[in-house]
Amino acid sequence: MHPLKECYELTAEIIRFFEDEQNDDRDSKISVLQDKLRKRDDLMKKITPPFSDGEQVLGRQLLQLNDRLLQLLNKEKATIQQDITKVKKRKKIHTGYINPYGSLQTDGYFYDKKK
């Protein structure tokens, strides 16, 4: 099979994988996604011109799928970043309860100099 066709099919498979709501385990989802993206990257390196008319049409469709994939990846990245900020905020609040005097500011100290 031509690498362009394989890349198109793999990209469509990745999009279907993203849109599947049954993939709740984030760690396994990320590991499967990394494997598929690595395979896709290898296939993209094998794509070389000249292209026939059918391959050009398939290439345009692949570009549209690629845009959709980028949207899904950015959405997933944003949710991961939100989760990380929530965890950091919870951690900061938790340490504030454990040691409430640990983060006192020392801005208001005055030092006298004797002459």
Over residues 22-41, mean pLDDT: 88
Q: What is the DSSP string of 46-103?
A: H--S---HHHHHHHHHHHHHHHHHHHHHHHHHHHHHHHHHHHHHHHHHHHHHH-TTTT
pTM of the entire predicted model: 0.74
What's the pLDDT at 100?
63
Q: Is a pLDDT exceeding 70 seen at residue 64?
A: yes
Q: Which of 1-5, 9-13, 55-59, 104-108 has the lowest mean pLDDT?
A: 104-108
Confidence of residue 110 (pLDDT cuts 50, 70, 90): low
SS3 113: coil
Whether the per-residue pLDDT at 82 is higher than 70: the answer is yes
Token code pair at residue 82: 């939100």
